[in-house]
Amino acid sequence: MGFLAPWMLLGALTAGVPIALHLIRRNKPTVVPWAAMDFLLRSVRETRSASRFRDMMLLVCRVFVLVLATLALARPLASWVPGTGPVDLALLLDVSGSMRTEEPTATGPRSRFSLARDEAERLVRALPAGSRVRLMPFGDRVEAGQTPSEPLEPALVLESLGRLRQTDLATRLEPALDMAADALAQSDMANKRLWIISDAPAAIWAASAGSLRALPNRLPGANLGWSRVGTALTAHVQLMESGPEGGLLLANTRQPWRVRLRNTGTGPARGLTVRLAMPQTGGADPAAQPADSGNIDEVSLAEIGPGQERVLHLEALLPEGRHGVMATVTWAGERWPIDGSMARVVEARSPRRVLVVERTSTVDPGQASGFFLEQALVALAGEAAPGETKRPLEVLRRSPREIGELTDIDLVFLAGISPPGLPDESARQLLDWCKAGRLLVAWGPFTGVPPVVDNPWGNLFAGVDPAQIQTPPSLPDITQARGILAPFALPPLDRLGRVILRRLHSTGAEDPAEEMLLRTTAGAPLVRRQELGRGEVIRLDLGVDAADSDLVLSPIFPPLVGALSSRAGEVALADHNLQAGAPPRSPGLELGPTRLLRTTDSAETSETRAWNKAGIWRLEENGVPVRDAVWAVRGGTGEGDDLEPAPTSVVHELAGDSLVVVDANSTEAAGILTGQGGEAAWWILLVVLMLLLSEGLVARWAGGSL
């Protein structure tokens, strides 16, 4: 019999308490002068043996209650409990880049990866006979090539552990969780266990909340466990965002470039340098690049305090075309430099053409609803500085019936128009244009718009059913909106919802709180994104007319439009800004089986380095660069984010109540909740309850406390 919380067995010492009380503490009896002593003496004499028996029973009951309660708290794994026996273990071992980080140990610094392997070995060795293990090394996906796909005997797994390799991948739990759950769901073994060994911080657990919550349903009765490795960094600067201010990058124009930094450590970071460059070769390590290699701009920052965030504005002057731009932040004392770099492929064009398709304003029939959009876009373009050419941002405004030629249009805003209501000709034009890899943004209060079936847009613009509006989920649930509106992910979006949106879609309720619920609904975030061919449609359940809300008059409206505009560039270059492991959607490109990036219509590239290494990559064919073949791989994005280990309570919240947290560094379990498999605690607690009941009966029988 094993125990999940063996230190709780120390509580068994409390079993001595009733005995000690019995021996030491005697109740001071009530003294009663008595006359009928003969009867009393006869009664005592005749009931003495029964009384002793009852007293003994009471003492035994009480001792057993304490012993068994302690045993239950120690959470024994008993063979007689269903779910015990051979285990089918899916062992997810984090091999992402952050696992290179060295941790101080008693035997000297060791990488988290090494600690994780030790923990894996410990877990495998502890398995009961007949168990089998599916070893799944993962970064942002399962590294299927490193280990056999079939479950192995524990002895073979121990050998495989030694052959595991570290990668530069980011950490994403969801793909690995999904794959492991699928594999275990097909297992014919009764006792299933899914164990994660990772340094995943709280943000990554939060991002995987959906998969974690689904696990109990997908794997009923299985155990989920997490051994965490890694300790908090005293100072850790992460580059959160890098891109042109206002979104649309204009060629040959000095344009602000926005870089956002965050110190997720517990101490200040000092002497920071942020550099913007166009590296000529691949690789993640900015130190490997020549110091002046394609340098665009550079700025220094004295200090970022713990938990602080800074937005820096650099300047970029780029020629027309696609460019790989890498932003890096360096500072003394960094432990995990990959978090301080962010690569991005941008396209500089001139001019940029934005089409606003509008209807007539309900406020002023003479004014179109796209008026405020145009004003915001003009504000984003800004006034030309002295000596510079005015930014060639062209805003076109057309009616739904006459959309006109869309070939040169970079971005379309539908202002207050429901796309299904567009004339057929205009709808077809927009569909074809979007599917070719463009961004269509539709503004409008779509709440309550019924789903349609015979419509080229499908149900893309079906509104939220007001009847389904529920209590708003917490902010982390609106992850879709986060991906699009990164600057608005937290406070501005929240403010947007709480302050403005409640005026947008009033349900007519008197209670303002009820109106506020409209910020997000169950599964219906404020901002929705849907792919359409190679393009993308973003739907905002927001008014763009002052008749709908005062959103357009608020200071956050221009930045909101800017963020959406920026998204236009992201969509257009989606293939070129790759998350490591994310397959490109370009029909002419595909990822090689393991590490090579190649073209399908030409000979295999001579590039042999791992494509999934973070950085800017240029595809060459026999030493000759392929046209426009520039890719940015975000291998390190998200690594090291909030390296403070997730509090146990947070993880429990994420995973329901079926998670074991084990700290691999201290080899001491940090949490005690688990699933049912093999655990005898509930059975013992049932016995304890029965004993307590018996104790009560015996105590009543025995006539009071001992």
Residues within the interface to other proteins (CB under 8 A): 26-44, 46-47, 50-51, 54, 702-704
What count of Cα atoms within 13 Å lies in the side-chain half-sphere of residue 333? 14
Q: Is the Cβ of residue 583 or residue 703 nearer to other proteins in the bound state?
A: 703
Q: Is the Cβ of residue 366 or residue 704 nearer to other proteins in the bound state?
A: 704
In whole angstroms, give the CA distance from residue 96 to residue 171.
6
End-to-end CA distance of the chain: 34
Map residue 367 onto helix, strand or coil. Answer: coil
Query: Smallest distance, Å, CB 57 to other proteins?
Result: 12
Query: Smallest distance, Å, CB 698 to other proteins?
Result: 12
Map residue 667 onto helix, strand or coil. Answer: coil
Asked whether 303 and 273 are in contact (CB, 8 A), the reply is: no
Map residue 531 onto helix, strand or coil. Answer: strand
Instruction: Kindly tell me the burial class for residue 33, based on how many C-beta atoms sit within 10 Å of its own C-beta (0-12, 13-18, 19 or more).
Output: exposed
Query: Smallest distance, Å, CB 46 to other proteins?
Result: 6
Q: Hey, CA dihedral for 396, 402, 408, 412, is it positive or negative?
A: positive
Amino acid in the structure at residue 392: P
Map residue 462 onto helix, strand or coil. Answer: coil
Q: Is the Cβ of residue 44 or residue 288 nearer to other proteins in the bound state?
A: 44
What count of Cα atoms within 13 Å lies in the side-chain half-sphere of residue 607? 26
Q: Is the Cβ of residue 33 or residue 365 nearer to other proteins in the bound state?
A: 33
Q: Is the Cβ of residue 61 or residue 574 nearer to other proteins in the bound state?
A: 61
In whole angstroms, give the CA distance from residue 166 to residue 121.
17
Asked whether 66 and 1 are in contact (CB, 8 A), the reply is: no
Query: Smallest distance, Å, CB 692 to other proteins?
Result: 20
Please give the DSSP secondary-structure letter assigned to residue 390: P
Query: Smallest distance, Å, CB 20 to other proteins?
Result: 18
Q: Is the Cβ of residue 30 or residue 186 nearer to other proteins in the bound state?
A: 30
Torsion, Cα 504 507 512 513, to 10 degrees, reads: -100
Q: Is the Cβ of residue 41 or residue 686 nearer to other proteins in the bound state?
A: 41
Q: Is the Cβ of residue 42 or residue 125 nearer to other proteins in the bound state?
A: 42
Query: Smallest distance, Å, CB 693 to other proteins?
Result: 19
Q: Is the Cβ of residue 54 or residue 609 nearer to other proteins in the bound state?
A: 54
Dihedrals phi, psi of 619, to nearest 5 degrees: -85, 125
Query: Smallest distance, Å, CB 65 to other proteins?
Result: 21
Question: For residue 273, how many other CB atoms are within 10 A of its CB?
Answer: 14
Cβ contacts of 47 within 8 Å, gap of 6 or more: none
Query: Smallest distance, Å, CB 228 to other proteins?
Result: 54
Single out the residue of 222, 143, 228 nearest to residue 179, CA to CA: 143
In whole angstroms, give the CA distance from residue 441 to residue 413.
5
Query: Smallest distance, Å, CB 663 to other proteins?
Result: 50
Query: Smallest distance, Å, CB 16 to other proteins?
Result: 22
Query: Smallest distance, Å, CB 23 to other proteins?
Result: 15
Dihedrals phi, psi of 148, to nearest 5 degrees: -65, 150
Q: Is the Cβ of residue 36 or residue 624 nearer to other proteins in the bound state?
A: 36
Question: For residue 367, how many other CB atoms are within 10 A of its CB?
Answer: 15
Amino acid in the structure at residue 29: P
Dihedrals phi, psi of 545, to nearest 5 degrees: -125, 140
Scored b (16 or more CB within 10 A) or e, 627-654 reads eebbbbbbbbbbbbbbbebbebeebbbb
Q: Is the Cβ of residue 570 or residue 695 nearer to other proteins in the bound state?
A: 695
Asked whether 378 and 565 are in contact (CB, 8 A), the reply is: no
Query: Smallest distance, Å, CB 54 to other proteins?
Result: 7
Q: Is the Cβ of residue 34 or residue 80 nearer to other proteins in the bound state?
A: 34
Single out the residue of 679, 647, 676 nearest to residue 663, CA to CA: 647
